[in-house]
Structure 1
Amino acid sequence: MLPLLLFLNFLLSASALNDNAFPENFKFGVATAAYQIEGGWDADGKGENTWDHYTHYFPDSIADKSNGDVACDSYHKYKEDIELLKELGVSVYRFSLSWSRILPQGTANYVNQAGVDYYLNLLKLLNESGIEPLVTLYHWDIPQPLQDLGGWSNPLMVNYFADYATVAFELFGDYVKMWATFNEPQSFCLMGYINNEYSHFAPGYDLEAEGSYLCSATILKAHAKAYHIYDEQFRDKQNGKVSIVLVVNWNEPATDSADDMKAQELGLQFGMGIYANPIYVGNWPQLMIDRVANRSKLEGYSKSRLPEFTEEEIKYIKGTSDFFCLNHYTTDLVSYAYEDDMIGVNSSYTLDKGITTSYNSSWKEAQVSTWNHMVPWGLRKMINWVDQNYGHPEIFITENGWADDGSSLDDPDRIEYTEGYLSSVLDAIYEDNVNVVGYTHWSLMDNFEWSFGYTSKFGMVSVDFKSENRTRTPKSSYYWYKCIIEARSLADDCAVPSESSGRSLATNVFAVIISVILAIYYL
């Protein structure tokens, strides 16, 4: 039954769009991150961060041996970027601060005024342009002096981050009403701190048995401390909100077997619950606690490799989010990996999780970033899972996007992807009554995509990285998104004619039939 439903889901996502208008208060935006666009890596007193260090000393870890030294040069071209935002018509711009640009040594004993001025000028111009900033404090670029102390595997980072957050709230809080402490700890705690297929990622530590868990525990405590600082010292006068940005692929059981249903829960709890459960429910997910403890015992450890929170820490972390920031790109088919196949191999987060992933061959695959498949219905399921498990929070989609090789300004696949995923957002709002309040597309422009360098392009604006001027040129998707924002619906007159976007009356009628079948099944 399940393979048939996957096929029906695919047909539905390819043929039917939700034609409801986006709610009046729904916010459209785009997103970027400091290291990926700013450049100016050592300009005006900025300190070295871990990605500066990693790309300079280990260039072979990057697909094209590139770095973010110049990137999109937004440090010098932020005014041009804001003009693109204004023309696009977005109401929100999500970007991150470079910790090393503000505190070059990582600590609060010295503040770099040139870095502060850069962000103040950016924020003031956004304010004058009527664009609301959603500011991330940390998007993977820790100051290198703190990385030399162990980075996020060092519990002292809780206090260093709290000091940095306090400086940011004091300096920029009058202009910022939406804060995110961390972007995707699931990504950097895994890819940076354990040695697996994602090991080409700063800082490149090989701490497979415990690294990701030590990192996760530190991040949760640091996030909570920053939240409480804002709550106690700044909220009354600044009236802002604080959250953390979490990411997970939707985990769809590969079959309807009990084992693969178990794999779905394992995938979602180890992927999302590891952070969301402590913040929205309290403590690690019990499934994780039990599973890691059992595996650690069988592996000969004297105690669980998953750090244990005290009751005081559980209470301190719980409730430290004012809204839910969700990054989502794609869906995995998941299967259960049996216990007997995993004990005695290695000790790792990946084996603790205990699942294998695959994808359906009918799902369109992105260029270069081939992990990214076009599965719009997965976002609706992910939104509903978050809503049902974490107390019906206000949800903001803070990243969602499609990669290609950037060879053409005509990008119909990006339009098709974004249209489908926005339709799923509308489904969640109107059909499921979930409180989704905004969407920021990744990304405004092509940029440095971490281990992919400049080979993978997610932008709605092309950047000529061979040009000293880093010339920006809007793509077809930019003008399509502008039209959607103006129309506040997935309007037919916004469609860019292409083979992939044509829809006939017959396919729409067929979509209605599929919708009925799926509705009966999910009920």
Structure 2
Amino acid sequence: MVWLAIIGLLTLCHSGIAHRTKFPDGFTFGVATAAHQIEGAWNISGKSENVWDRLTHSRPELIADGTNGDVATDSYHRYQEDVDALAYLGVDFYRLSLSWSRILPSGRNNYINPDGIRYYNALLDALAEKNIEPLVTLFHWDLPQSLQDLGGWANPKMIDFFRDYADFCFREFGDKIKSWITINEPYEICEDGYGDEKKAPAIDSHGVGNYLCSDTLLKAHAEVFHLYNETYREKQNGTIMISINSIWYEPSDPENTEQVTLAETANQFKFGWFAHPIFTEQGGYPAVMVENIARESMQEGLTKPRLQQFDDYWIQRIKGTSDFLGINHYTTFLVTGPGVDPTAKSPSWLKDTGAVTTMEVGEDSASEWLRVVPAGFGNLLRWCKSSYNDPPIYITENGFSDRGTLEDYGRIKYLNDYLTEILNVIYEDNVRVLGYALWTLVDNFEWRAGFSERFGVYYVDITQPDRPRTPKLSAEYYRALVATRELPQDERFFDQARL
């Protein structure tokens, strides 16, 4: 059994060798960013405070290097430099997000900030001049603080607030935007923002607020999808989806049936939490989630479960509300057995899963949570194909962190190995992956890591007021990839000492 476990781990860590290096016709390449992480200009020209402004200003000790998004990479003033960088890379599309508090400072549509409209129109026009398609996320974590003061995503009224905000954006920008994402990484919003203090608004209502959040968020997503579908799709001829993130969970011993079952449970709790209601025929939360949380709630003496299944109306209303499956993926964890993770609070999502996990697999990165396990990416994509009726998939984020080196061979190897897995599942398993967005364009404000972890293909010197951008070696790698639609073979991109 020990040998089987070791063989399984070696197989998982091994970077697959693609039988092909060329991407299929029609496959598109892009780069992803988020408004709060790059724009800066946090309180000028009518923009109001958002939850990340509040967190970084009121609790700066939570940010690893004490930085914040006040200036970030100053893309508000330097967006043309970013567009020029995108044009140099040759990408087909640019995934960006809109700042809700820059467009509607109160969070509601009673006042529209003209500068916010001006800024995004200027950015969209600059992209159009370079023939770069915008893929626009309506909400990427930066909720207006005024709405958080009313309860944020734990308040059911957010369904109406989000719908009104989306309605305005569709109406104002829809002639320039043909591809929309409603919400980025709902797990991170709900679990890390309302079930913990890992991300703003840092409510830490563990085991309660996270599930109130998911209930509201999924309904809000569905209402915005139906709004677009019924009011804007025909005249604007666009598409709309959600981006769901996932660590992929593997059994540490693939021959251990209990671990295999627990890994499936963990994947349902992580990815299925938000994918199952939208992408399955039956809809609703995964049965294992409902059952586990009901059992835990009963043991806690509660008369009602902390997570309740949607009623029939909302099951039907949420089902099918995404044109594509957007996937953000970076790493893989191992499930080692049943039980309660020693770091789990009570009650909590982590305790509800009933699985103990470890991230001790693969090479490390600058991020504690990110290990390099390419084969896990392939397994996630195969699982999504079989679990969600073979959906068309866009990889809306994937990338690697280091400390900012310009000769970033580690990032290049990561990208090459993870892209290899995409090629493998496309050609060998007929998984319908249609496009790929690298995270990220420029070194940016990485949330609670600040600027201590660098994901960009352009280095940004935040000690300089003009925030100069310098291309890393990975920028040249990605440029070659996009130009040829083929994994680059040039030896200059690969550190021979590491191979």
Same fold (TM over 0.5): yes
Give, in whole Å, the separation in 1 of the partners of 2:497 and 2:155.
Answer: 49
Indicate conservation of the 8 Å contact 1:35/1:98, yes or no.
Answer: yes
In structure 1, what residue type is equivalent to 2:105?
P
Deviations along 1:128-170, one digit per CA (max 9) or x if unpaired, are 2111111000000000000001111111101000000000100
**261-270 or 394-403, which deviates more:** 261-270
- 2:448 aligned to which of 424, 447, 451: 451
Give, in whole Å, the separation in 1 of the partners of 2:173 and 2:327.
Answer: 24
Partner residue, 1:173:
174
1:438 aligns with 2:441: no
In structure 2, what residue type is equivalent to 1:160?
F
Indicate conservation of the 8 Å contact 2:46/2:102, yes or no.
Answer: yes
In structure 1, what residue type is equivalent to 2:447?
W
Partner residue, 1:372:
370
1:10 aligns with 2:9: no
In structure 2, what residue type is equivalent to 1:257?
N
- 1:238-253 to structure 2, matched below 5 A, reads 238-253=236-251
Deviations along 1:308-364, one digit per CA (max 9) or x if unpaired, are 31111111011100001000000101133337x99x972111100111221345x11
1:184 aligns with 2:177: no
Indicate conservation of the 8 Å contact 1:446/1:458, yes or no.
Answer: yes
Give, in whole Å, the separation in 2 of the partners of 1:449 and 1:221.
Answer: 28
Partner residue, 1:270:
269
1:492 aligns with 2:489: yes
- Structure 1 residues 495 and 26, CA gap change in structure 2 (3 angstroms): farther
Give, in whole Å, the separation in 1 of the partners of 2:484 and 2:492.
Answer: 12
In structure 1, what residue type is equivalent to 2:397?
E
- 1:173-322 to structure 2, matched below 5 A, reads 173-195=174-196, 199-255=197-253, 256-281=255-280, 282-322=283-323
Partner residue, 1:323:
324
Give, in whole Å, the separation in 2 of the partners of 1:345 and 1:212.
Answer: 13
Indicate conservation of the 8 Å contact 2:337/2:357, yes or no.
Answer: no
Partner residue, 2:60:
59
SS in 2 for 1:329: coil
Partner residue, 2:384:
386
Q: How many residues align?
A: 492
Give, in whole Å, the separation in 1 of the partners of 2:264 and 2:180.
Answer: 30
- Structure 1 residues 246 and 494, CA gap change in structure 2 (3 angstroms): farther
- 1:498-513 to structure 2, matched below 5 A, reads 498-499=495-496, 502=499
Give, in whole Å, the separation in 1 of the partners of 2:122 and 2:221.
Answer: 27
Partner residue, 1:425:
422
SS in 2 for 1:44: coil
Percent identity over the alignment?
A: 46
**249-258 or 451-460, which deviates more:** 249-258
- Structure 1 residues 456 and 18, CA gap change in structure 2 (3 angstroms): farther
Partner residue, 1:520:
none
Unaligned ranges ≥5, structure 1:
503-523
Partner residue, 1:351:
351
Give, in whole Å, the separation in 2 of the partners of 1:200 and 1:292.
Answer: 22
Deviations along 1:467-520, one digit per CA (max 9) or x if unpaired, are 000000000000011011111111313751412564xxxxxxxxxxxxxxxxxx
Partner residue, 1:48:
49
Shift of 1:204: 1.1
- Structure 1 residues 478 and 314, CA gap change in structure 2 (3 angstroms): same
Partner residue, 1:505:
none
Shift of 1:286: 0.8
Partner residue, 1:518:
none
Give, in whole Å, the separation in 2 of the partners of 1:200 and 1:388.
Answer: 32
In structure 1, what residue type is equivalent to 2:271?
M
Give, in whole Å, the separation in 1 of the partners of 2:474 and 2:374.
Answer: 17
Give, in whole Å, the separation in 2 of the partners of 1:9 and 1:334.
Answer: 13
Deviations along 1:275-295, one digit per CA (max 9) or x if unpaired, are 111111210011111111111
In structure 2, what residue type is equivalent to 1:330?
T
Give, in whole Å, the separation in 2 of the partners of 1:2 and 1:438.
Answer: 34
- Structure 1 residues 220 and 494, CA gap change in structure 2 (3 angstroms): farther
In structure 1, what residue type is equivalent to 2:146?
P
- Structure 1 residues 401 and 345, CA gap change in structure 2 (3 angstroms): closer
Deviations along 1:42-100, one digit per CA (max 9) or x if unpaired, are 12101111111111111111111111000000000001100000010000100100000
Indicate conservation of the 8 Å contact 2:226/2:321, yes or no.
Answer: yes
TM score, norm. by length of structure 2:
0.96
Indicate conservation of the 8 Å contact 1:75/1:118, yes or no.
Answer: yes
TM score, norm. by length of structure 1:
0.92
Give, in whole Å, the separation in 2 of the partners of 1:307 and 1:78.
Answer: 44
Give, in whole Å, the separation in 2 of the partners of 1:351 and 1:54.
Answer: 26
- 1:144-155 to structure 2, matched below 5 A, reads 144-155=145-156
In structure 2, what residue type is equivalent to 1:182?
I
Shift of 1:177: 1.2
The structure 1 segments of at least 4 consecutive aligned residues displaced by more than 6 Å after TM superposition are none
SS in 1 for 2:330: coil
SS in 2 for 1:234: helix
In structure 2, what residue type is equivalent to 1:482?
R
Give, in whole Å, the separation in 2 of the partners of 1:320 and 1:345.
Answer: 33
- 2:478 aligned to which of 476, 481, 487: 481
In structure 1, what residue type is equivalent to 2:151?
G
**98-107 or 248-257, which deviates more:** 248-257
Shift of 1:18: 4.2
SS in 2 for 1:134: strand
SS in 1 for 2:244: strand
In structure 2, what residue type is equivalent to 1:444?
L
In structure 2, what residue type is equivalent to 1:275?
F
Partner residue, 1:116:
117
In structure 1, what residue type is equivalent to 2:47?
K
In structure 2, what residue type is equivalent to 1:269?
Q
- Structure 1 residues 12 and 34, CA gap change in structure 2 (3 angstroms): closer
Indicate conservation of the 8 Å contact 1:443/1:458, yes or no.
Answer: yes
In structure 1, what residue type is equivalent to 2:369?
W
**199-208 or 474-483, which deviates more:** 199-208
Deviations along 1:431-476, one digit per CA (max 9) or x if unpaired, are 1111100000000010000000110000000001000000000000
Q: CA RMSD in A?
A: 1.5
